[in-house]
Amino acid sequence: KDLLKTKRIGRDILYFNSIDSTNSKAKQLASDGKGEGTVIISEEQTKGRGRLGRNWVSPKGKGVWMSIIIRPDIQPIDASKITQVTAAAVSKSILELGIKNYIKWPNDIIINNKKVCGILTEMSGELNKINYIVIGIGINVNLDENEIPNDIKDIATSLKIESGKKVSRKQLVANIFNNFEELYEELLNKNEITHSIEICKENSAVLGKEIRVIFRNKEIRGKAVDLTDEGELLIENQEGKIQKIISGEVSIRGV
Ligand code: ADP
């Protein structure tokens, strides 16, 4: 707590030794009325989730497995901006520990082409009003090589493996709360995510590269050329046509 500069984010932390999924717990607590800034952290997840119900490996004591509840007064259509704000906050926070990292748009953070962090944003609300958003953040912090399951060895790594040193989870979490609150306030106060997008561009793993994107069940190939102020990815195809891809609907292969 002494490391925290925040007013709201992380001032109410619910800490678990073991839980099925921090996002599931956060959703349950949010629908029971838990307020903005509440964080659920667990030492391990027995049923950690990725996108589309995929499994997220979350061994005990080795990572940051947490979910933040927020209740922003923004349009549901803008909810994907939260993923960009979070990716920027986490990337900046890891960099503050001296570890260079890249954002694989829209929701992963990678080092040496392997995932160190995944972000899973889930929303509940109506057409014109968000009830709550739960932001799941899973970071592989102190896993050793032999603690990464074989089936994800080629795609997953940890901060310890990449930096060669043990990382303080407490410091990392405090950095994330501080950075997230600052970037999130830009969205709340100005309805802009300019600062987050700047960080996403600086630390991008995809901009300037030839990529393949699965978007609305169709494959799009081309060069990732820019991020918009709203956080959408612009891809230029062979004919020079620019296509805008909305965050949250794609997977990128080949980066
Ligand atoms: P993506 O964003 O790459 O489409 P998800 O966000 O859905 O993927 O994350 C789930 C996938 O990530 C799993 O199917 C698995 O391949 C991989 N994965 C699972 N646990 C971890 C982990 N701890 N670190 C890195 N990758 C993981």
Q: What are the extents of the domains in the chain?
A: 13-202, 210-253
Q: What is the pLDDT of residue 1?
A: 64
Residue given tokens 């929701």 in the structure block = 107
Within 13 Å, how many C-alpha atoms sit on residue 129's CB side? 1
Q: How far is the CA of 116 from the centre of ligand 1 (A)?
A: 9
Contact 136, 54 (CB under 8 A): no
DSSP secondary structure string for all residues of 195-239: HHHHHHHHTBSSTTSEEEEEETTEEEEEEEEEE-TTSPEEEE-TT
Please work out whether the CB of residue 211 comes within 6 Å of at least one atom of ligand 1: no
Fold annotation for 13-202: BirA Bifunctional Protein; domain 2 (3.30.930)
Residue 7 φ/ψ region, left for φ over 0, alpha for ψ in the -120 to 50 degree band, beta for the rest: alpha
Q: What pLDDT score does 214 carry? A: 82
Output the CA–CA distances (angstroms, integers) from residue 1 to 7, 178, 243, in the order listed: 11, 11, 44
- The answer, yes or no, to whether any atom of ligand 1 lies below 6 A from the CB of 107, is yes
**Closest-lying ligand 1 atom to the alpha carbon of residue 108:** 2
pLDDT at 253: 64
pLDDT (0 to 100) of residue 35: 95
CB of 156 sitting under 6 A from ligand 1: yes
User: Can you read off the two tokens belonging to residue 156?
Assistant: 């997953």
- Tell me, what's the ipTM? 0.95
pLDDT for res 120: 96
> What is the pLDDT, as a whole number, of residue 249?
57
pLDDT at residue 127, rounded to an integer: 86
Spelled out in words, what is the top-level CATH class assigned to the domain 210-253?
mainly beta
Distance 50 CA to ligand 1 centre (A): 6
Residue 69 CB less than 6 A away from ligand 1: no
Residue whose C-alpha is closest to residue 10's, from 158, 170, 120, 167: 170
Quote the strand ranges of the chain, DSSP E.
13-19, 39-45, 63-70, 102-104, 108-111, 114-125, 130-140, 210-215, 218-227, 233-236, 242-245, 250-253
For ligand 1, whether the C-beta of 161 sits within 6 Å is no
Q: Are strands 218-227 and 250-253 parallel, antiparallel or unpaired?
A: unpaired
pLDDT value of residue 250: 64
For the chain, 255 residues long, give each residue's pLDDT as a single digit of tens: 678 999 999 999 999 999 999 999 999 999 999 999 999 999 999 999 998 889 999 999 999 999 999 999 999 989 999 999 999 999 999 999 999 999 999 999 999 999 999 999 999 999 899 999 999 999 999 999 999 999 999 999 999 999 999 999 999 999 999 999 999 999 999 999 999 999 999 999 999 999 988 877 788 889 999 999 999 999 999 899 999 998 655 667 655
Decide if 68 contacts 163 (C-beta within 8 A).
Answer: no
pLDDT of res. 215: 78
Q: Cα-flanking dihedrals φ and ψ of residue 7, to 5°?
A: -90, -40
